[in-house]
């Protein structure tokens, strides 16, 4: 048997890559730094599949909006002030990327990646054994004020123009489509191609299927270095020993930069911390997942439960919970859904996770000059779940010498090297 493909990282991207490679008959070893019951950003996220997110995080107006939010303890965004050269460089690159030319270049790439990923999710629903609920009813961008609705209607027209269909809905139309739910809104934009699922179900199914297909998952195996001969990697050095392979895939999310640094590869990234809470018995269960536009809060029905989450804290690889940010999520949620009370969230566990955020808002995906047999697949910001399947497909295509589903120029992992 030929040497395996060694994948570093057991989140949705690493699992998707392993699954696609196994479908093509390749041998796979997946290295995960956590235990079998580990948590990750792939488990507690909002579970949204979002073709609507075709604008990168680095866009006009985002710097000023971020500065405004910095002075509100309960706002959706915060950067912990600290003397950190990597953070300063990241901020400079973010500012340089926040222009319309960047958005125009990246829009078709993010659109195509998300739409292709949606197709693969639909395929997963048919081919993965077991229970896998995928709701393709769309996403509501809920607007409390007419001013916000008018602004989002302009974006909706742009979305339609680039091939991501939308509808602008009045408050009465939203209530007609989702009867029995109290909405305190001026209206909403419906993104009809968006979808949602429970990420825990998907991760469990992919993990099981990878093992059934003969893939090997090694837990508690954190990469601490590499063994290299000439231009090729020979092995990943981990806390569980060395793992030799033919090709290596770096898909370690927010922990990818440290592993890349050991190869002399710079992939600038900051960890964007987010929180979520899962209401097991909500007083009302909306049909649609939603984004609360003024508050930047995500709401997703998952089975009988309702997951509410948000914030973007740039605080390093720190998973501690900031009570003020969580309070801001709760306060915002009940303004849009008045049937709920803040006390509904009392005693609920608070999940926190780290999104891997490049300074230009675009993933790192492709081969790299750092080693001729290394593929990088990380940096998906808030779209890790949404882009997981297409990223896995592209990784497998690169490894197997197939044409890629989407052009990769704008996601070149060497672009900041």
pLDDT, tens digit, 9 for 90 and up, residues 357-397 = 999 999 999 999 999 999 999 999 999 999 999 999 999 99
Q: What is the mean pLDDT of residues 52-77?
A: 88
80 confidence band (pLDDT: 50, 70, 90):
confident
55 confidence band (pLDDT: 50, 70, 90):
very high
Tell me how long the chain is: 417
Say whether pLDDT at 139 is over 70: yes
CA distances from 196 to 16, 135, 140, 293, 339 (A): 17, 5, 12, 18, 23
40 confidence band (pLDDT: 50, 70, 90):
confident
Distance CA 153, CA 157 (A): 6
The pLDDT of residue 313 is 94
The pLDDT of residue 1 is 57
The pLDDT of residue 82 is 85
pLDDT, tens digit, 9 for 90 and up, residues 180-225 = 999 999 999 999 999 999 999 999 999 999 999 999 999 999 999 9
Say whether pLDDT at 39 is over 60: yes
End-to-end Cα, the chain, rounded Å:
35
The pLDDT of residue 208 is 95
Give yes or no for a contact between 9 and 155, defined as CB atoms under 8 angstroms apart.
no
Q: What is the mean pLDDT of residues 54-74?
A: 87
The pLDDT of residue 343 is 96
What are the structural domain ranges in the chain? 5-43+201-266+361-411, 48-102+130-194+270-357
Per CATH, domain 48-102+130-194+270-357 is 3.30.470.10: no
CA distances from 179 to 80, 159, 388 (A): 42, 27, 33
SS3 47: coil
pLDDT more than 70, % of the chain: 100
SS3 117: helix
CATH level 3 topology of 5-43+201-266+361-411? FAD/NAD(P)-binding domain (3.50.50)
The pLDDT of residue 15 is 97
The residues near 158 (Cβ < 8 Å, ≥ 6 apart) are none
Say whether pLDDT at 129 is over 90: no
Token pair of 401 as six digits: 């010498």
pLDDT, tens digit, 9 for 90 and up, residues 273-329 = 999 999 999 999 999 999 999 999 999 999 999 999 999 999 889 999 999 999 999
78 confidence band (pLDDT: 50, 70, 90):
confident
272 confidence band (pLDDT: 50, 70, 90):
very high
pLDDT more than 90, % of the chain: 88
The pLDDT of residue 224 is 94
The pLDDT of residue 158 is 97
Say whether pLDDT at 41 is over 90: no
> What mean pLDDT is reported for the chain?
95
């Amino acid at each position: 048997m030929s040497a395996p493909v060694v994948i570093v990282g057991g989140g949705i991207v690493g699992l998707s890559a392993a699954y696609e490679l196994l479908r093509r008959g390749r041998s796979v070893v997946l290295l995960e730094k956590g235990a079998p019951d580990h948590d990750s950003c792939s488990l507690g996220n909002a579970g949204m599949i979002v073709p609507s997110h075709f604008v990168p995080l680095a866009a006009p107006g985002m710097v000023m909006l971020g500065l405004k939010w910095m002075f509100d303890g309960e706002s959706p965004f915060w950067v912990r002030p600290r003397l950190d050269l990597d953070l300063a460089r990241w901020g400079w690159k973010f500012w340089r990327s926040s222009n319309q030319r960047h958005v125009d270049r990246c829009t078709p790439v993010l659109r195509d990646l998300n739409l292709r990923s949606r197709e693969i999710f639909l395929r997963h629903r048919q081919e993965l054994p077991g229970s896998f609920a995928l709701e393709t009813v769309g996403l509501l961008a809920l607007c409390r004020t007419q001013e916000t609705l008018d602004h989002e209607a302009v974006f909706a027209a742009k979305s339609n123009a680039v091939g991501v269909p939308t509808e602008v809905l009045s408050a009465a139309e939203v209530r007609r489509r989702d009867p029995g739910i109290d909405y305190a809104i001026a209206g909403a934009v419906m993104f009809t191609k968006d979808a949602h699922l429970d990420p825990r179900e998907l991760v469990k199914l992919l993990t099981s299927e990878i093992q059934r297909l003969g893939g090997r998952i090694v837990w508690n195996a954190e990469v601490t270095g590499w063994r290299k001969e000439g231009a090729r990697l020979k092995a990943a050095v981990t806390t569980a020993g060395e793992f030799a392979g033919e090709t290596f895939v770096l898909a370690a999310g927010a922990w990818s930069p440290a592993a890349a640094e050991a190869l002399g590869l710079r992939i600038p990234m900051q960890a964007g911390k987010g929180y979520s809470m899962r209401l097991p018995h909500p007083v009302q269960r909306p049909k649609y997942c939603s984004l609360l536009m003024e508050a930047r809060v995500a709401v997703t029905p998952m089975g009988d439960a309702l997951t509410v989450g948000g914030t973007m804290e740039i605080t390093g690889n720190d998973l501690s919970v900031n009570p003020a940010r969580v309070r801001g999520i709760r306060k915002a949620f009940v303004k849009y859904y008045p049937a709920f009370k803040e006390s509904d969230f009392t005693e609920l566990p608070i999940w926190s996770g780290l999104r891997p955020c490049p300074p230009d808002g675009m993933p790192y995906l492709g081969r790299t000059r750092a080693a001729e047999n290394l593929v990088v697949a990380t940096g998906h910001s808030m779209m890790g779940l949404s882009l997981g399947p297409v990223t896995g497909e592209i990784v497998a295509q690169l490894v197997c010498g197939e044409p890629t589903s989407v052009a990769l120029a704008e996601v070149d992992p060497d672009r900041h090297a």
